[in-house]
Amino acid sequence: MVMEHRKLSMDELNRISPEEYKTKKKTPFIFVLDNIRSMNNVGSFFRTADAFRIESIHLCGITATPPNKEIHKTALGSTETVDWKYFENTLDSVAWLKSEGFMVYAVEQVVSPIFLHEFKIGEHTKNAFVFGNEVFGVSDEVIAICDGCIEIPQIGTKHSLNVSVSAGMVIWEAYSQWLCCPKSSSPKSQTSDN
């Protein structure tokens, strides 16, 4: 049997419209951006959030907010589909998330991390992932109140990934686990009609 390898056309991708996107059930994940300085990175977070239909993004501190021409360059319209909130202080975002029943994880290199390949989402939990400043990372004060810290193991010389690349890796791991959950609220049941 010969496998056909060709790019899908735009029609074959079955993309939903921004209006349809707004009505679809969201995956119970939230990105928290702790003082992200690059607007290109912020735009990348929006684009990734749209791809996995996550619930929301929390933009904190110096993190730029839409509408913004620089964010739009990488967001490619996803600022129109993904819900977001602004918090002056990341600690306020984490406190709000905890009050809403979210498990909150900093994505950071710490003394006792949960390595990404060992991370397990709770079957009935909502999860938020805090990503830190490109130079300073997630603040110590925020790490102290998180439920845990996820680290992406690396074996090169830099031990540092672009923050938006890290977000893509973490959300894929969380989403793929959620997709396999046998409960009706999992994204597996959302890929068709919900």
Name the pTM for this structure. 0.90
Residue 136 vs residue 186, higher pLDDT:
136
| Whether the predicted pLDDT of 193 surpasses 70 | no
Residue 8 vs residue 106, higher pLDDT:
106
Domain 19-186, architecture per CATH: 3-Layer(aba) Sandwich (3.40)
pLDDT of residue 13: 86
Cα–Cα distance, 165 to 5 (Å, whole number)? 27
pLDDT of residue 189: 46
